[in-house]
Chain A
């Protein structure tokens, strides 16, 4: 990339922060400089671009099945050139429908919102915001991306298998996911899914270990934990969640591999399928669900926490006000992170598990609503009496708060086991998680991309296109997912190919069409973002060093990034990152690396004697 110069500069000081003792850049082959790069900024961009490509693919899949849901009578012959035998006689194959639903979920949750979100921003921002030359291990970091790439290739290839990709829902419950006789996607497609996910988890673990180590060990002089920007706190906690919970998914997947290919019965018992009684006895499908959701629930917090951190940062910067309740924000993230491990079985209220567990998990789940609410109140208080600049990242951050409120509140209904009897596996659940994940987390992703684009590419994204993108998407997601609640209250189950088999569901056809139109229009609107992203990389307005007038350390590095981040010594940090509009200060922001000694007019009483 022309925007990042990662050759070593003559005048970098090789002092105690030795970062390049193990290789000589002057003779570095382009393969190791640009492809298998160990520079965190390059790796961040690799994750971002891969994530964006996957997002378009995942969105395309959802557009296809929304066409089926919106126009169930239509003949889709025009899709045959693209989908081949998956469209038979003008009708989408019922198995392919489930394959698309499965792959849409898998791609969006894992490849876009986990790798594309954490992978990009943890990599980009951790060294820059804590004041480090690079990650603790550039090598592990490089491996983390390339394992993700390998995982992506395998998952992508699975889309083209004869028997189809995995089709048992992104939650892949056995026995459906264990038995090819039950659905054809559980043949080779499921094998590919499992292998891909194992590599994906390796990637996440390598990354997570790196992020945690770097944050703990490589903070610059003066950067105590309580002077860290909230972005870093969120990436730190996200990495901790990942390192503790992803291995459980590995064990879950491993036992499924054994059941599928090596004759074991961890999840299988007393099955008659495909005209024969299988020999498996003693296994429990519920075991799978416990193992899966033990990761599955922290996973959704892994998705949302980085967005929490980035939005906090962006709102403070653009409201020109300190984030309200910095310590409460840290405390609430700690609370959410801890609680996220002990609520998993709220996905299993009607699974047949002991109802006593239902009571326990309902209680724990509703506790987690409290820190989430606290965060929303703190964001509102940050806006109050601010002086708000509506940059594109700020628009997406405000949109994030709105969508998180909408989606989070319905979580309170679903966390109540009694009400879950009514809503489990209906569109009410689909509406809930699409508002918190597909909308909120995606908005966090967009906010982050627009905000840190100048840091990644040395140029600004176009603002007007950004405004159009924001409003189109904001209206689009609300139009798509708010009506879905009605469909859920009416009891419509999810993952249904069509609703014409039931009198009780043979209604709301107009609403289904409306939802489909909104979804497809919203997806098409993302091409505006795609164009803006690519175009601005080459023809965007060149950025200044600190275009957002922000306090954090990444804006003290040169516009065109260099290997080692700072040309001279790494700045020392004196203050927290939220001195915006401080009374008595010359300007409406004071960066973290400005000593208190230099700002006598704005120092608070307890800061007067600080360096």
Chain B
């Protein structure tokens, strides 16, 4: 019944609009609009352009002010601050260009609207002007490129040797984390060894695996120290994305990647700064990876360095938490023979071209 009512209303609306249209056409014919070069519509459109410019710019500026508190994610890393500053500087530069060009566009449209007695100015080119307005953007671009390149080089250079290493493994549809432990070496993993009880695919005969801290209940990193995320995926491409730190790097199956940074604010400090006592640093997935793409969340806690050390010391090594796996290995050494065939390197590899 409701459906019928809606369809009939739409049909009625269609009829009304059609009639209005026909009336408009016929009245234009009677008025002789089609015999003139331009009608009053020309003036109307010119005015609408100026109105659009004024109201549009106004709306833009107003919306910017209103949205600011929402789009500002407080910055909490060293390089993140460089990125943020560079972004707003660039925005200022392009903002000036935006303003000037849009104003000229709409003002010229209004100012030079058709006038019966006027003739347009036949001015086909001016090569000096072309050179001028080629060089100015070129110089501006050069400056932007240079500053971008400098920051990029610093961000993508190898991590300092004393960086805290954490491996983040992306999978459909969550993140798994492990730490290298006291020996600072992550145990060898192979995808052929993965199963429900061995999510990383550990080769448990590898001595380096014994002291790894695998899937702790919480994910902690220290403030003020370099942190190196070693990023992997075991199924499709994912993407480690954290807006407050401006950390983003794809997780690629078959090709480990990395990203290092220095956090500058603890979770507690952020809670104070944002006024939200429940503040948590969250990592999201930023590369389409399947139906759970929007729900791949892991919380990271940034501690003062001493608190981090305390937490780390309290974590149980894999030799304990993965005791079952180690036990099975000693019983049936033959089970892992298949992995012997290929030495698949899982340490940091230089990203291939």
Contact = CB atoms under 8 A, between A and B. Distances in A.
B1 to A, nearest CB: 14
A582 B34 CA distance: 26
A285 B252 contact: yes
A225 interface: no
A320 interface: yes
Contact of A385 (B24, B109, B123, B252): B123
A129 to B, nearest CB: 19
Given A321-B123, A322-B123, A421-B246, A271 B133 contact: no
Interface centre among B34, B60, B151, B290 (most CB of A within 10 A): B290
A386 B112 contact: yes
A370 B141 CA distance: 8
Interface stretch (B40-48, B207-215, B322-330): B40-48
Contacts of B28: 464
Contacts of A416: 86, 90, 144-145, 148
B241 A491 contact: yes
B330 to A, nearest CB: 23
Interface string B220-259: 0000000000000011110101011011111011110100
Interface string A460-502: 0011110100010011001000110011011101011111011
B125 A352 contact: no
B353 A353 contact: yes
Contact of B249 (A325, A350, A578, A582): A350
Contacts of A176: 236-237, 288-290
Contact of A502 (B119, B194, B236, B282): B282
A343 B280 CA distance: 38
B54 interface: no
A277 B113 contact: no
A483 B24 CA distance: 35
Interface stretch (B67-75, B160-168, B178-186, B305-313): B67-75
A581 interface: yes
Contact of A503 (B115, B278, B287): B278
B282 A503 contact: yes
A578 B124 contact: yes
B122 to A, nearest CB: 5
B145 A362 contact: yes
B133 A377 contact: yes
A374 B133 contact: yes
Interface in B244-296: 244, 246-250, 252-255, 257, 278-280, 282, 284-295
Given A377-B133, A383-B109, A425 B241 contact: yes
Contacts of B46: 388, 390
Nearest to A379: B105
A321 B254 contact: no
B122 A490 contact: no
Contacts of A581: 119-122
B352 interface: yes
A504 B243 contact: yes
Given A182-B235, A284-B254, A374-B133, A321 B172 contact: no
A478 B292 contact: no
B101 interface: yes
Contact of A486 (B70, B106, B243): B70
Interface string A373-387: 110111011011111
Interface stretch (A231-239, A296-304, A436-444, A505-513): A505-513
Given A175-B235, A277-B194, A369 B352 contact: no
A98 interface: yes
A123 B217 CA distance: 63
Contacts of B91: 413
Interface string B123-161: 111110110011001100100110011011101100000
Given A277-B192, A418-B155, A490-B243, A413 B87 contact: yes
Interface residues of B, number: 118
B350 A175 contact: no
B243 A498 contact: no
B274 to A, nearest CB: 10
Nearest to B118: A387
A410 interface: yes
Contacts of B201: 272, 277
Contacts of B353: 353-354, 357
Contacts of B257: 352
Contacts of B288: 98, 168-169, 173, 176, 495
Contact of A320 (B42, B120, B192): B120
Interface string B178-205: 0000000000000111100000010000
Interface string B43-70: 0011011001000100010011001001
Interface stretch (A53-61, A113-121, A198-206, A398-406): A398-406
Interface in A392-434: 395, 398, 401-402, 405-406, 409-410, 412-413, 416-419, 421-422, 424-426
B114 A412 contact: no
Contact of B67 (A268, A402, A511): A511
Given A465-B21, A490-B70, A387 B294 contact: no
A398 B82 CA distance: 37
B239 A425 contact: yes
A321 B121 contact: yes
Contacts of B241: 425, 491, 493
28 contacts: A94-B292, A168-B288, A173-B236, A173-B287, A271-B191, A272-B234, A277-B192, A282-B254, A325-B126, A328-B125, A352-B255, A354-B350, A381-B129, A385-B112, A387-B119, A389-B42, A398-B109, A413-B90, A416-B145, A418-B83, A424-B239, A474-B52, A482-B60, A486-B64, A490-B71, A503-B279, A505-B284, A582-B122
Interface of A: 93-95, 98, 168-169, 173-176, 179, 182-183, 268-273, 277, 281-286, 319-328, 350-355, 357-359, 362-363, 366-367, 369-370, 373-374, 376-378, 380-381, 383-390, 395, 398, 401-402, 405-406, 409-410, 412-413, 416-419, 421-422, 424-426, 462-465, 467, 471, 474-475, 478, 482-483, 486-487, 489-491, 493, 495-499, 501-505, 507-508, 511, 541, 578, 580-583, 588
Given A464-B28, A504-B284, 17 more contacts: A173-B287, A173-B288, A176-B288, A270-B191, A270-B344, A285-B252, A322-B123, A359-B149, A367-B138, A390-B41, A405-B102, A406-B102, A412-B90, A421-B155, A422-B246, A487-B71, A578-B124
**Among all A-B residue pairs, the 3 with the closest Cβ atoms:** A269-B254, A491-B243, A355-B156
